[in-house]
Amino acid sequence: MFRPGMKGNTVNTSPTASAAMTSATAALLESLACASTDPQDRAHASTDRSGYVSPSVPDGVVFAESIDDVAQTMRRASELGVQVVPRGAGSGLAGGAAAHAGQVVLDVSRMNRILHIDPVEQIAVVEPGVVNAAVNAAVAEHGLFYAPDPASTAICSIGGNIATNAGGMWCAKYGVTRESILALRVVLPDGRILDTGRGTIKGVTGYDLNALMIGSEGTLGIVVEAKLRLRPRPVHTATLVAYFPDVAAAAQAASAIIAARVQPSVLELMDGQTLAAVDAAQGSDHAVRGGAFLLAQTDGYGAYLEQEVLVEAIRPYASSMEQAADAEHAGALMAARRAAIPSVEELGRVSICDVGVPRNRLAEAFAGLDAIAAKTGVRIFTVAHAADGNLHPMIVVEPHESITEGPAKEALGEMFHLAKGLGGTLTGEHGVGLLKRDWLQAELGDTSLELQHAIRDVFNPRGLLNPGKAI
Amino acid sequence: MTTTHSTTKIVDALQAALPGRVDTDPALLDAFTTDRSGHRSPGAPLAVVNACTIEDVQAACRLASEFRVPVVSRGAGTGLAGGAIAGPGEIVLSLTGMDRILEVSPANRLAVVEPGILNGDLNRVLAGHGLWWAPDPASKDISTVGGNIAMNAGGLLCAKYGVTREAVLALKVVLADGRLITVGHRTVKGVTGFDVCALMIGSEGTLGIIVEATLKLQPLVSGGVATVGAFFDSVEDAAAAASAITAEGLVPSIMELMDGRTITAMERFAGDAVFGGAGAFLLVQCDGPAAQATASRAAALATAIGGRVETTTDPEESDRLVGLRRNAFPALEAMGTMLVEDMAVPRDRMADAFAAIRRIEQKYDVAIPSTCHAGDGNLHPSFVYTGDTVPENIWAAAGEMFRTALDFGGTLSGEHGIGLLKRAWLRDELGDDQYELQRGIKELFDPLGILNPGKVFVPED
Ligand SMILES: Cc1cc2nc3c(=O)[nH]c(=O)nc-3n(C[C@H](O)[C@H](O)[C@H](O)COP(=O)(O)OP(=O)(O)OC[C@H]3O[C@@H](n4cnc5c(N)ncnc54)[C@H](O)[C@@H]3O)c2cc1C
Ligand SMILES: Cc1cc2nc3c(=O)[nH]c(=O)nc-3n(C[C@H](O)[C@H](O)[C@H](O)COP(=O)(O)OP(=O)(O)OC[C@H]3O[C@@H](n4cnc5c(N)ncnc54)[C@H](O)[C@@H]3O)c2cc1C
């Protein structure tokens, strides 16, 4: 199993090994058998996949192996007043798991067991560190699947997915993470254990704290166990790829599909620049076939009937269309989309943005992104979960340039204003983390933001858990 | 709740601020002392404010805060948990006058509506656009969208199409002090900050007043429906058939189960042996392109467990079979006052839950006709009695029912909410820590405790 950044052993070196460490963090790390102060572990835990460069490294990393480890860490940390940053697989794109000096990282990636699969109830109970793809591989044997599948499925953890309310390709039809989590076990900042949600499909006793935990980016508690809702695998899946003269035509086609009242399970759009990047990295030839690409999947018994409706909706805009002949062909098309981010990452330093817009305004969003690239001088490559109006414009700068300051930051700010102007949102699925806090108030307004702080204070009154993130 | 100000003062202030919107006629006020739970408050509320605009709601909340007078939001009053009941010293904020559809956007598959519109009325308009809003309580023609959201209502179709929470994108909410906030997003996805929209859904009028909702719509399902009616000798067999259908990975749009006592009541109500004296009835409806294939598979599974099965794709015959289920509540209500329970259990414990219901019937000497949304394990064991107060043995039986649900790894309430009816058991289900966190949230939204006090949480003093 892929376990990013995991080392075979962690050394429990003496706290004096690190000069900058405070006495409180030293006391915490010394008291925990599963703690590491290895420089490499600490450097690794100082950032995630957002491109954010932390000014310093955390004082240590706790590699929890059980709920008890987590509870003990939090109890001790709150006694000692130590700030704790939860960490899953570190694939986050908002700097949510990034940590700095004076902080301790609580890494749950070793808690990666699948505890129970119940094919009759269509439920799985898992530890938080299990990798998303590992869950899907295990439940596939029972003819089931776990629907929220971020493009990072092979490198992200279920706990991180829950903390960010991750989306993915299938969520147009099957919903985001929130719709697939029945219950959670959470360790609160003071070490107490809280169970939210329930074992049944429906339930309305009291406020929905389960939903509140989902997407809280590690600021309300640490997810240590999750009960996942699984779904029967669709009997048929029909995959189609269409090429367009330009991205505007592709965006119009995507909007036409929504208006045509079919429900694709996957609807992914890539612009011309991204196609060229994928071709360069993968040796494929998408860019010669068009200036934009739309990948559409329909599933269930009606997959092929729905595909016919979809084809009619796209026809006026597309320059060519191709139906996947078999599962292998479909897999290759999906792989092209999954390769988009890594391929662009080969071109320089990348910041992956995450705006959401109403679904009939996709074309305007793409036009706006072109204008932002022209204005700020950064390169922008864009993929989109088109069925939910969620765009991932990737800002690319040269390897020596900053991705969090200067033109890159200016472009990010412009994107937010673009999304807001179109009736959209700052972040569709990656979260606010560290990198989007500057614009949060503009989106939520003062009163909402005040309430959000008050909610955090109910769970995390001393602000020791993931301070400065999300809100 | 005690108030230091004289109660006439708030009524005067409301009348001055909202001329023509405030009713104090005792004959009118009586209607607000009950909902459909069988409960009645000890007396009439002070006044009802018939809000027509968001500003009306804000003005009412500002005054209620100033005078520290409780506000009970009310949609259509069809709640089964006593949530919309108002009593002496309280103001009712009625939202049924705010019933406009502000926008339907087929291109975004969303609608923006005021809270007082009836679910059924909305869906009739949406059908003209080829769309629908999926929450489908059996009460859809008589309950409001705002009430559905405040309760996170479920229904017959939600095993396949989700409950209300999954069908709401954004809300406008007036806070206790009259400030207006927007929560959620007009986009399908969005993760800025905590999910306060989800927190509002199902909050039963205790955190804020929902004054506008942006709803996520679905395309009308094409391909017709296929319906299976299966008659069994025993409810255990019917429950086993339902579990088998779920285990097979089939996803019917409707899967409803009724026990023998319900069938008897319905045959008496209809004056006709429509069920041929069966001991249990399982209704399965499938929609979409796979309708027929799914239905015939479900029929085969039911037959294998001893069901006598009718399958049809004829719309009229389908309606007749579904109508059998929709008539269950009216048939039981015809026998007296109804107390409807609402426990949910994991789907493979349904047969156990029915066995427990029979044991409780014997122990407390009551009849408990029960229906069940079998696709999601949500049971409605019902008690029927005469008069206004719930008899002692029925309370005791209800209490044991709640504990049984928890023992099965289930929940007190699948869809009807806590209100007054189940507040005494809330702490048992949530545990002390979560209960305190929930109270903490209540307090930060409503520091004066004026929003629907005494509902959901037992008053502390
Ligand atoms: C190539 C690539 C593609 C991606 N595609 C998508 C996509 O399609 N959709 C999408 O939504 N995201 C995508 N992402 C972003 C990322 O994978 C997700 O945000 C993912 O959910 C993060 O999981 P993680 O385990 O890596 O969490 P981390 O990065 O370790 O942490 C993310 C946040 O969650 C918190 N956290 C982690 N674990 C826990 C826990 N157990 N309890 C409490 N808090 C916790 C952290 O404190 C942090 O705030 C992509 C990333 C990459 C690199
Ligand atoms: C025959 C029958 C069948 C039923 N079937 C189902 C079913 O299948 N599934 C199901 O879930 N329920 C069912 N119910 C219960 C009931 O219809 C639902 O709970 C419904 O959602 C209540 O809507 P309402 O407009 O009547 O709300 P009300 O009863 O007026 O209010 C219910 C609660 O919501 C609050 N509230 C109402 N409007 C607002 C608002 N705008 N802002 C804030 N708070 C508000 C009230 O304070 C109260 O706490 C049934 C009821 C009956 C009588």
Q: Which residues pair with B48 in a beta bridge?
A: B23, B92
pLDDT digits (tens, 9 = 90+) for B120-145: 999 999 999 999 999 999 899 999 99
| Residue nearest (by alpha carbon) to ligand 2 atom 23 | B147
pLDDT bucket at A4, cuts 50 / 70 / 90: very low
Which architecture characterizes domain A114-232 according to CATH?
2-Layer Sandwich (3.30)
Please, what sign has the CA dihedral across residues B396, B402, B407, B408? Answer: positive
Do the chains contact at A172 and B188, CB–CB below 8 Å?
yes
Q: For residue A16, what pLDDT is reported?
A: 38
Tell me, using a 6 A CB cutoff, whether residue B256 lines ligand 2. Answer: no
Instruction: Give the closest of A195, A200, A447 to B410, CB-based.
Output: A200
Q: Residue B4 pLDDT more than 50?
A: no
Exposed e or buried b per residue across B251-266, where buried means at least 16 C-beta atoms within 10 angstroms of its C-beta = bbbbbbbbbbbbbbbb
Whether B202 has its CB under 8 Å from any CB of chain A: the answer is yes
Give the pLDDT mean for A229-236. 91
Mutate to test the interface with B, among A125, A179, A204, A427 (most CBs of B within 10 A): A204
> Nearest Cα to B90, choosing from B51, B126, B45, B24?
B45
Q: Residue A403 pLDDT more than 90?
A: no
Q: A409: which DSSP letter?
A: H
Query: B120 to chain A, minimum CA–CA distance in Å?
Result: 21
Return the percentage of chain A with pLDDT > 90, whole number: 73
Q: Residue A7 pLDDT more than 70?
A: no
pLDDT digits (tens, 9 = 90+) for B281-332: 999 999 987 889 899 999 999 999 999 999 999 989 998 888 888 888 889 9
Name the pairing type of β-strands B47-50 and B91-94. parallel
Could you say which residues from 287 to 346 on chain B have a Cβ atom under 8 Å away from some Cβ of chain A?
Answer: 288-290, 293-294, 344-346
**Best residue for ligand 2 mutational test, from B73, B339, B451 (most atoms within 8 Å of Cβ):** B73
Both tokens assigned to B338: 């109804």
Among the bound ligands, the one closest to the CA of A70: 1
Amino acid in the structure at residue B59: A
Instruction: Give the closest of A199, A356, A430 to B410, CB-based.
Output: A199
Q: Residue A151 pLDDT more than 90?
A: no
Whether B191 has its CB under 8 Å from any CB of chain A: the answer is yes
pLDDT digits (tens, 9 = 90+) for A100-109: 999 999 999 9
| Phi and psi torsions of A176, nearest 5° | -90, -170
A234-334 maps to which CATH number?
3.30.70.2190
How many whole angstroms separate alpha carbon B139 and alpha carbon B354? 24
User: What does the domain layout of chain A look like in residue ranges?
Assistant: 23-107, 114-232, 234-334
pLDDT digits (tens, 9 = 90+) for A101-132: 999 999 999 999 999 999 988 999 999 999 99
Q: Which residue of B has its CA nearest to A253?
A: B107
Give the pLDDT mean for B347-363. 92
Query: A140 to chain B, minimum CA–CA distance in Å?
Result: 13
Q: Do B242 and B282 contact (CB within 8 A), yes or no?
A: yes
Both tokens assigned to B451: 């929003």
Rounded to the nearest integer, the mean pLDDT of chain B is: 92
Q: Residue B390 pLDDT more than 90?
A: no
Among the bound ligands, the one closest to the CA of A385: 1
Among A10-14, A59-63, A349-353, which stretch is predicted with the lowest mean pLDDT?
A10-14
> Is residue A236 classed as helix, strand or coil in its secondary structure?
coil
Tell me, using a 6 A CB cutoff, whether residue B95 lines ligand 2. Answer: yes
| Residue nearest (by alpha carbon) to ligand 1 atom 5 | A151
Tell me, using a 6 A CB cutoff, whether residue A189 lines ligand 1. Answer: no
pLDDT digits (tens, 9 = 90+) for B37-83: 888 999 999 999 999 999 999 999 999 999 999 999 999 999 999 99
Among A30-44, A75-89, A100-114, A421-435, which stretch is predicted with the lowest mean pLDDT?
A421-435
Name the pairing type of β-strands A237-244 and A266-271. unpaired
Confirm whether pTM is higher than 0.80: yes
| Residue nearest (by alpha carbon) to ligand 2 atom 2 | B139
Ligand 1 atom with minimal separation from the A431 CA: 19
Q: Which fold has domain A23-107?
A: 3.30.43
Cβ pairs bridging A and B (under 8 Å): 266
How many whole angstroms separate alpha carbon B370 and alpha carbon B155? 15
Among A2-11, A49-58, A317-326, B363-372, which stretch is predicted with the lowest mean pLDDT?
A2-11
How many whole angstroms separate alpha carbon A374 and alpha carbon A356? 21
Return the percentage of chain B with pLDDT > 90, whole number: 73
Cα angle: B274, vertex B278, B284; to 5 degrees: 80
| Phi and psi torsions of A410, nearest 5° | -60, -45
Q: For residue A427, what pLDDT is reported?
A: 86
Do the chains contact at A208 and B430, CB–CB below 8 Å?
no
Return the percentage of chain A with pLDDT > 70, whole number: 96
Residues in B closer than 8 angstroms to A211, CB to CB, are 165, 195, 198-199
Q: For residue B6, what pLDDT is reported?
A: 60
Do the chains contact at B441 and A305, CB–CB below 8 Å?
no
Tell me, using a 6 A CB cutoff, whether residue B338 lines ligand 2. Answer: no
Please, what sign has the CA dihedral across residues B21, B22, B25, B27? Answer: positive
Give the pLDDT mean for B381-404. 90
More confident residue, A226 or A332: A226
Q: Residue A52 pLDDT more than 90?
A: no
Give the pLDDT mean for B370-382. 93
How many whole angstroms separate alpha carbon A116 and alpha carbon A102? 38
Q: For residue A121, what pLDDT is reported?
A: 85
> Is residue B415 classed as helix, strand or coil in its secondary structure?
coil
Whether A438 has its CB under 8 Å from any CB of chain B: the answer is no
Whether B143 has its CB under 8 Å from any CB of chain A: the answer is no
Ligand 1 atom with minimal separation from the A88 CA: 30
Q: Residue B233 pLDDT more than 60?
A: yes
Q: For residue A1, what pLDDT is reported?
A: 31
Give the pLDDT mean for B113-125. 98
Q: For residue A18, what pLDDT is reported?
A: 44
Ligand 1 atom with minimal separation from the A385 CA: 8
pLDDT bucket at B222, cuts 50 / 70 / 90: confident
